[in-house]
Amino acid sequence: MKLTILGGGGFRVPLVYGALLGDHAEGRVTAVALYDHDPARLTAIARVLTEQAAGIPDAPTVTAGTDLDEALRGADFVFSAIRVGGLEGRAADERIALAEGVLGQETTGAGGVAYGLRTVPVARELALRIARAAPDAWVINFTNPAGLVTEAMVPALGGRVIGICDSPVGLGRRIARLLGADPARARVDYAGLNHLGWVRGLYVDGRNELPRLLDDPTLLESFEEGRLFGADWLRSLGAVPNEYLHYYYFNREAVRAYQEAERTRGAFLRDQQAAFYTEAARPGTSALAAWDRTRAEREATYMAENREAAGAGEREDSDLESGGYEQVALALMRAIARDERAELILNVPNRGTLPGLDDEAVVEVPCTVDSKGPRAAPVAPLPYHAAGLVASVKAVERAVLAASTSGSRRDAVAAFALHPLVDSVTVARRLLDAYTAAHPGLSHLR
Ligand code: G6P
Ligand code: MN
């Protein structure tokens, strides 16, 4: 099996490779092709992978290059994990929104709209290239905003593109552990869009254990989302939201905390990663040790301002170890390649799963996966408050997709203005002006 990684010089590639190294079974990935437009990043990441593979006889081979068609040739799986505009672009997305008094975040609110507007045209082009060069490959999209970007790739790739995110998995695992259940045996009833979903139940042997958690304020406040949202609010919702809902339910506090932070998350990661790539290229240093240290620091500071605003304290040790991102990807590849049935929460076209959304709308829901790919499992409808948010944000995503097709500023303004976290059309217009001035990738909007 050959796996091609687009964005192969990206920081999280060693997580994926580390997971592959632990897979010794039949049908595993034996060749990894890294594609990136930046050769220096490729060299640094390839050094990390070489160190990871030391002493492992059946380690997948690694090739790295800047020729897309060559990397794609013969691929069975393609991971798309690109960042259009780099972390400098992310920092600008965040900064410009915060200066307007609205949320500046990678995937959520105005920052997410800006990132989507930049990324969709590139993702569509990549999808066409993959469809031509590797028509039989399964494409696993990690690129954020993951739901929107997956939907942008579907016209070229059909059912062969699947979006993934580690947030719902992490949430399900935390809840299962709290309830004393084995996360591998628990079925999580989760539904929504990427970074906009709710856990409504956790079933062990057919029994819903979530009410036990919601009835116990002490247990509720003993885990990350419990502390972030507070036991009382979770009991009002009767569900546990994805951590990204903190930006909606506590918007003022989150915006204020982000405005007061010394640097945005994107600026922090930009500086942190610049230091890592420099260090990893230096002869005589261990690229793997530098990567490990950098990764630990990234995990520990994830959503730090949100946690601070909520008085939620530090992250748990179990959340600092990885096992989310790469394990979902590996589980998905295994299920497809070996026809091993698995239940995974994935981003797939709705096709009747959630009422109120059309068939093409990509949603994040539990799916059954085998060699034919994922099939969304039936789920109960969302309550009005959640269905309303989901419909609003899907309308925003549709405006982003429309803007990328039409190149029209009017569609782009609509994308910002329709977002529930942007409170004025005037602000939406100013945001678009500022983003077009900052990002060369938006110059097509007229
Ligand atoms: C979560 C999200 C991902 C995101 C990651 C890293 O796992 O689900 O979509 O890429 O966090 O966030 P960071 O702020 O470290 O880039
Ligand atoms: Mn995610």
Q: Where are the alpha helices (DSSP H) in 285-418?
A: 287-300, 304-309, 317-320, 325-338, 384-406, 409-417
Please give the span between the terminal C-alpha atoms of the chain, in angstroms, as a whole number: 44
Pocket of ligand 1 (CB under 6 A): 144, 165-167, 265, 269, 298, 302
Residue 56 has pLDDT above 70, yes or no: yes
Q: How far is the CA of 108 from the centre of ligand 1 (A)?
A: 12
Residue-averaged pLDDT of the chain: 96
Residue 194: its pLDDT value, please? 98
Looking at ligand 1, which residue's alpha carbon is closest to its atom 9?
Answer: 165
User: Considering the entire predicted model, what is its pTM?
Assistant: 0.97
Judging by beta carbons within 10 Å of its beta carbon (0-12, 13-18, 19+), is residue 61 exposed, middle or buried? exposed
Looking at ligand 1, which residue's alpha carbon is closest to its atom 14?
Answer: 302
Q: Tell how strand 2-6 and strand 31-35 pair up.
A: parallel
Q: How far is the CA of 332 from the centre of ligand 1 (A)?
A: 19
Residue 206 has pLDDT above 80, yes or no: yes
- For the residues 135-151, what does the mean pLDDT come to? 98
Q: How far is the CA of 330 from the centre of ligand 1 (A)?
A: 18
Q: Where are the alpha helices (DSSP H) in 179-324?
A: 210-214, 217-220, 224-229, 231-237, 246-249, 251-260, 265-281, 287-300, 304-309, 317-320
CA atoms of 175 and 202, how far apart (whole Å): 8
CA atoms of 85 and 90, how far apart (whole Å): 7
Lowest-pLDDT choice from 153-162, 320-329, 432-441:
320-329
Looking at ligand 1, which residue's alpha carbon is closest to its atom 12?
Answer: 302
Judging by beta carbons within 10 Å of its beta carbon (0-12, 13-18, 19+), is residue 412 exposed, middle or buried? buried
Residue 323 has pLDDT above 70, yes or no: no
- The confidence band for 321, taking pLDDT boundaries of 50, 70 and 90, is low
Q: What percent of the chain has pLDDT over 70?
A: 99
CA atoms of 444 and 421, how far apart (whole Å): 25
Residue 365 has pLDDT above 80, yes or no: yes
Pick from 103, 105, 107 the residue to mutate for probing ligand 1's pocket: most ligand atoms within 8 Å of its CB: 107
Q: What percent of the chain has pLDDT over 90?
A: 95
Q: How far is the CA of 146 from the centre of ligand 2 (A)?
A: 7
- Higher pLDDT, residue 21 or 311: 21
Q: How far is the CA of 142 from the centre of ligand 2 (A)?
A: 8
For residue 145, is the peptide bond before it cis, meaning its omega torsion is within 30 degrees of 0? Answer: yes
